[in-house]
Chain A
Amino acid sequence: MAQLPLPLEFDSRFSLDNYIADPAPYIRHQLTALFDETGESLIGLWGGTDSGKTHLLNACALYARDADIRYHLFDAAQLIEASADGFSEFAAGSVLAVDNIDLLAGNRDWEAACYQVVNRVKNGELRFLFSLSRQPRDTGFRLPDLKSRLGWGLLIALPQPDDAAVERILRERARLLGLELGDEALHFLLSRYSRRLKDQMDALQLLDAAALSMQRRITVPLIREVLPFQLEPDSAR
């Protein structure tokens, strides 16, 4: 997902409306309240792989653009390559977001920079959104002051999508891509391919490209042709 350092194009695939999960309305409400300054100014999205953390933070970019609010989104994996000096200052007056903030754990400079960011949030200088794979107290941050400060915000646990949710998300993605994905092809993909949402999304992207270049519809034979090695054999099921 091309998104950082700042999304060049706002990706309409990621919107708050097409985030699919049980607590979606609650999450939408809290995130938009942060932007509209009617809710918490420090929010942490906490969940495992495929729970939609990156989707939501990208979706916020779209919301911020429409609401004309300055929003800076960074992926911690990229931040760690850069110098932390000055990070807490440059986003004053805007909404700052860091995806996968727990990747910064153990990096003294970046931990200190995030600590400063939260202090600035407390002073009303900016609003801060972050995502992480577990709740702050269980992360590997060495700075106890940072751990406790991250726990200060409104922590929202994102549920792992179950098979039914993965199906709904795939259908929605196919619809957005303008793909015709019949039940048979969809169920074949879901039952024979990786159950991880990210893998399914990548597969859909591949199938989209293949269907376009071969001028064919997405069918079970096409899936077998495009993803022959990744499919689990029938006997494995």
Chain B
Amino acid sequence: MQPELWAQCLSQLEKAINEKQLETWILPLQAEVRRNTLLLHAPNRFVMDWVKKNFLDQIQEILMQLDDTKSMTVQLGIGSNPPVTPAEITGEIPVVKPRKSPYPSGLNPEQVFDNYVEGKSNQLARAASYQVSSDPGSEYNPLYIYGGTGYGKTHLMQAAGNRILELRPEATVIYVNCERFVSDMVKALQHSKINEFKHFYRSADALLIDDIQFLADKNRSQEEFFHTFNSLYEANAQMIITCDRSPKEIDGLDDRIRSRLGWGLTVDIKPPDLETRVAILRSKAEQRGVELPDPVAFFIADRFKSNIRDLEGALKRVIAHAQFTHRPISQELAREALKELLAAQEKQVSIENIQKTVASYFKISIADMLSSRRTRSITRPRQMAMSLCKQLTRHSLPEIGNAFGGRDHTTVLHACRKIDELRQEDERLAEDYDNLHRILGH
């Protein structure tokens, strides 16, 4: 129930500002009168700041006109009017309202195992997710999936969640992005609804938290997550967690959480190889009811290597172009539709850019990289940079050699072979190579 004073204020504001602004900024405010203060509660800081900046003076002015005593002031804050709920009267545990989401449990029913394209890069992660969905809460708990952004972690976790629901329709499966978990918690604290928040997350049979790296440096949220984790673990509820890095690599995370994340099974997803990218394109095209000729799929897959989102973005562009121009999808059309993206991409991955990125990664100078020095701390980065140049640019071996202080093309060839060999043997070097690949946007 809004106080009469605010109702009057609103009717004045209706005349002063347009309907859209009223609807967007003013109507979400909840008012409360305490002594000589009109307290306006905004649902979040964003709305509060806008109101403060754009409408507060106006509100104050109207209030002055309405208030005969001229003693009322306005205060803005975040929150809501203290609710009078049956729970407060009876002392019962509050009933948790279902989350507002177009999907039950926050799951997207379209992300299932059937349309998850399996390849060498994600085989293990897929098998583990499938296993977990068959027998949740038993062997692999939590299941921790990590890998670069856009490699398909979310799809896999959603597929597992959907299958748990399919096999046990009565189960409570909650999918939440970590950022949302954090913001839900902050909101719950602001609106004095933390018990509802706790109850909601701790009552899950399976909790799927995406992108846990967003928990880093958020102490209060980590505390809450820690207790949620313990509670679910003790109840044998399945947890699936994704992250862009392994637990030990997340900076700013409490050690007790880091260790718990490793209690179950940790699996990684690597960048998809060419065949997998082609298969992904075929699958996405099929989902859109579009026929994608093989040469076009290979053309796109060969040029968009960084992640699946870029791949999908490129496919969307090709399809949109074909549909708009009423032309069949061909390599020529794809080239036309993607010309700006490809031009920018080619511009970005230059030999100089690779040299700069690798030098900075290994904390050596460009001058050292191009010098004739042969200490291992210089030769390895140099060889890695040469190998990346061969893989990511279309320059010839002599051109690459020339750009590295006038070296012979056989030196480049040797460097590439050496790095290929070392990537098989040395896990750390392989990881450095993958990281650089990722930084360079491939």
Footprint of B on A, CB under 8 Å?
5-6, 8, 25-26, 29-30, 39-40, 46, 70, 72, 82-90, 92, 112, 115-116, 119, 122-125, 134-135, 137-138, 144-145, 147-149, 151-155, 157
Assess the B309–A151 pair: CB atoms within 8 A. Answer: yes
**What residues on A are CB-neighbors of B149 within 8 Å?**
144-145, 147-148
CB distance from A31 to the nearest CB of B (A): 12
Assess the B44–A135 pair: CB atoms within 8 A. Answer: no
Q: B213: nearest residue on chain A (CB-CB)?
A: A145
Known: A153-B313, A154-B316. 12 other contacts (CB 8 A): A26-B321, A85-B183, A86-B45, A86-B46, A89-B44, A135-B341, A137-B310, A138-B344, A145-B244, A152-B312, A152-B313, A157-B341
Q: A113: nearest residue on chain B (CB-CB)?
A: B46
CB distance from B244 to the nearest CB of A (A): 7
Q: List 24 A-B contacts (CB under 8 A).
A: A25-B324, A46-B340, A87-B44, A90-B24, A90-B43, A90-B46, A92-B100, A119-B179, A123-B106, A135-B341, A135-B344, A137-B348, A137-B441, A138-B348, A144-B149, A148-B149, A148-B310, A152-B310, A152-B312, A153-B316, A154-B313, A154-B320, A155-B317, A157-B340
Assess the A87–B46 pair: CB atoms within 8 A. Answer: yes
**What residues on B are CB-neighbors of A83 within 8 Å?**
45-46, 48-49
Q: How far is the CA of A122 from the CA of B310 in the complex (A)?
A: 15
User: B177 at the A/B interface (Cβ < 8 Å)?
Assistant: yes
Assess the A86–B21 pair: CB atoms within 8 A. Answer: no
The answer, among A82, A90, A116, A123, for a CB contact under 8 Å with B101, is A123
Q: How far is the CA of A118 from the CA of B340 in the complex (A)?
A: 23
Chain B, range 13-53, C-beta contacts under 8 Å to A: 18, 20-21, 23-24, 28, 43-50, 53
Query: Given A82-B53, A123-B102, A155-B341, are A137 and B306 also a contact pair (CB < 8 Å)?
Result: yes
User: B112 at the A/B interface (Cβ < 8 Å)?
Assistant: no
The answer, among A89, A138, A148, for a CB contact under 8 Å with B307, is A148
Footprint of A on B, CB under 8 Å?
18, 20-21, 23-24, 28, 43-50, 53-54, 100-103, 106, 108, 148-150, 177, 179-180, 183, 186, 211, 214, 244, 306-307, 309-310, 312-313, 316-317, 320-321, 324, 340-341, 344-345, 348, 438, 441
Q: How far is the CA of A30 from the CA of B325 in the complex (A)?
A: 12
Q: B321: nearest residue on chain A (CB-CB)?
A: A26
Q: How far is the CA of A1 from the CA of B345 in the complex (A)?
A: 33
The answer, among B43, B309, B340, B341, for a CB contact under 8 Å with A86, is B43
Q: How far is the CA of A88 from the CA of B45 in the complex (A)?
A: 12
Q: A112: nearest residue on chain B (CB-CB)?
A: B179
Q: How far is the CA of A116 from the CA of B176 in the complex (A)?
A: 11
**What residues on B are CB-neighbors of A30 within 8 Å?**
320, 324
Q: How far is the CA of A124 from the CA of B149 in the complex (A)?
A: 21
**What residues on A are CB-neighbors of B28 within 8 Å?**
90
Q: How far is the CA of A122 from the CA of B177 in the complex (A)?
A: 12
CB distance from A8 to the nearest CB of B (A): 7
Assess the A85–B46 pair: CB atoms within 8 A. Answer: yes
Q: How far is the CA of A112 from the CA of B24 in the complex (A)?
A: 22
**What residues on B are CB-neighbors of A40 within 8 Å?**
316, 320
The answer, among A46, A84, A89, for a CB contact under 8 Å with B43, is A89
**What residues on A are CB-neighbors of B47 within 8 Å?**
86, 90
Q: How far is the CA of A149 from the CA of B211 in the complex (A)?
A: 13
Assess the B341–A116 pair: CB atoms within 8 A. Answer: no
Assess the B18–A144 pair: CB atoms within 8 A. Answer: no
